[in-house]
Copies of this chain bind each other. A is one copy, B any other.
Amino acid sequence: MREEQANRCGPGAADQARACTVREALDRVGGKWSIGILIAASTGPVRFTELERRVEGISRRMLTLTLRNLERDGLLVRHVHPTVPPKVEYTATPMARELYESLVALTRWAERHREAISAARTAYDREHGTPAG
């Protein structure tokens, strides 16, 4: 997690340049937990512990790391309240909400083809060897 190239897609065949642009976007939400966090924070400010509960299965460490990355990319804003005990809130930026909206088309695609893909896999695994033997 720390893809340095922010926009270096460079030259090359036209379609591979497009591929690179797509990857640019995917690399920011490609992490295992990014989407879950983004969605949880898109409705309003969320606290660290609340995220820990809502994003099921995430470890404290990964929550911290993913949070930092999202913040670094400008997808999340971190607001620290100087109180004791500490209170930190994370909020999705407009850019992040736009991102999520762009993902809607992809979500629909997944829903439409869920079964087709599942079937394709079963068929494939029958012809070639199945994962377990």
Interface, chain A (partner B; CB < 8 A): 2, 4, 6-7, 12-13, 15-16, 18-19, 21-26, 28-30, 32, 35-36, 39-40, 43, 54-56, 71-74, 95, 98-99, 101-121, 124-125, 131
Contacts and interface: CB of A to CB of B under 8 A. Distances in A.
A29 B116 CA distance: 16
Contact of A25 (B15, B18, B107, B120): B107
Nearest to A95: B113
Is the contact region of chain A dominated by helix, strand, or loop, or is it mixed?
Answer: helix
A102 B109 contact: yes
9 contacts: A2-B131, A16-B54, A22-B35, A22-B106, A25-B103, A26-B29, A74-B120, A95-B113, A102-B105
**Smallest CB-CB A-B distances: 9 pairs:** A74-B120, A25-B110, A102-B105, A6-B118, A19-B36, A102-B109, A72-B124, A25-B106, A24-B110
